Each structure stands twice: as structure tokens, then as C-alpha cells.
Amino acid sequence: MYPKNLPEWVLFLVRSTLLAVWFFAVSGLLFVISIFRPFHHTNGTLFCRWLSPLALKILGIELEFRHPEKATQAQPCIFVGNHQHLIDVYTFSYTLSERTITLGKKSLRFIPFFGWLYWLSGQVLIDRGNNEKAVATLDRAMDIIREKKLSLFIFPEGTRSRGRAFGPFKKGAFHMAVRSGFPLVPVIASDYFRHLKLGRWHAGKVIMEALDPIRVEGRTAEELLKESREKMVVALDRINEELAQPR
């Protein structure tokens, strides 16, 4: 896709530029589509389907998604994933199942086209700086996903870990799982910071894996948080060790 003799910094710059163009092109087109069918959950699904495959090729990332059937068969459910980097937009978009909406911070709405699309596609925007408003938003989201039998994807860390393994988990996702009765399905992505070199021709491989669903009946949010985190830590260590082996 690129001349093979490009210096690393030039290749990184070219990739970043192409990625930005593709990101805003897809966002802009789907924003226009969403105007004519506002708050339809498939607007977000279309965004993921169109954006991710070419974006991963631009980045030079090989992605392997393991056990997607665990994600699809458990729906409706609450997905939880590990939040590392802006690249999550492209990797987790690749794995996002049908009839799934996501939760993001309210400030996303100020990003031209993408933020407007995010709102118009029925995603959940919360104000993390105002706990009362955030709880009210989650309550409304809970009503929607139960009524329409939608799944919800959440990064329980709330912010990117930037190569520091896992940050502390917030309880929101686990309270929603308890209230909805939907199972929890952790989805793990291998460590970008250890295994990807975006300045290289082949940037590297990302392994993503859907873990076994966690049933929530009779469980507290605290118990679910602890079990989910423990299983995600074990899975992340396992796939990182696999990627570290000589190929």
C-alpha cells in the first residue's frame, strides 16, 4: 500500500493523514444518512462496518478476533472492554456486534461529523463531571436497552490506560448489568504499546478475544466488577505472552 523505503516518521505521518481523511469521510457520510433516520441503532453499526476494515489496513494492523460467537450468542448483554488508545475506535469497531450501542463521554459531541453522528445514531453520552446527570443518563439508557433488547458496550476504566495495563474500573457497567439482568461479556484487546509499531510497514498484530459470558443473577455490582477484571487480566496476560513469542 505504501512505498517500502519510506522512513518510519514519514510512514507514520502518511498513515495518520489517510486515517483522518477516511475517519471524517465515513463520519460525514453517515451523519447525512442519520439525519434521515435519526437515533436508529444501525447508524452506529454501519459506521463500524465501513470504518474499521480499511482503517486497519491503513494502519498496517493484522487483527484476529477470537470467539465472536460468545459475543453474538449472549446478546442482549453488557460488553466491557479494555481501553488503551485512540486505536480502540478501529479495533473494537471491528468486533462490535449487531444491535449494540456504546457509551461515551459527552464531550464527543463537539467533534465535527463524528460527534454529531454519535449522538444521532442513538449512542449514550454521559457527563462524567456531573454524577447526578450521569446517573440520570444511565437510567434512560437502561430503559432503552431493555425495551429494545439492545446490547451496550462500555469501557469500564472510563479513560485510556496508555500502556499501563488496566486502570481502575468504574461501577457503572456492572450496576447496569445487575439492573438489566443481561450477562456481562468481556472483550479483550492485546497491548498496542508492546506489540505495535505504527512507523513500520507491518505495524504488528492485535489479538482480540470475547470471553465467556458472566451471569449476573444474584450477584452484586462489586462482585461482577471483581470477577470481570480478574478474568480480563488473565486473558490479557495470556494473549500478550502469545504475541511476544517469536513468529
Mind listing the pLDDT tens digit for each residue in 212-225? 999 999 999 999 99
Please provide the average confidence, as pLDDT, over all residues in the chain.
Answer: 89
Query: pTM for this structure?
Result: 0.90
pLDDT in tens, 228-241: 999 999 999 999 99
Most confident of 70-74, 102-106, 125-129, 204-208: 204-208
pLDDT at 192 over 60: yes
Q: How far apart are CA 51 and CA 41, in angstroms?
A: 16
CATH architecture of 8-244: 3-Layer(aba) Sandwich (3.40)
Model confidence at 160, in pLDDT bands (50, 70, 90)? Answer: low
Q: What residue segments make up the domains of the chain, in order of their start?
A: 8-244
**Alpha-helical regions (H) of the chain:** 8-36, 42-59, 68-73, 88-95, 114-120, 131-148, 172-180, 192-195, 221-244
**Can you give the pLDDT at residue 69?**
94
- Using the predicted structure, report yes or no on whether residue 78 has a pLDDT greater than 90: yes
Write the pLDDT tens digit of every residue in 87-133: 999 999 999 988 899 988 888 888 889 999 999 988 988 887 777 88
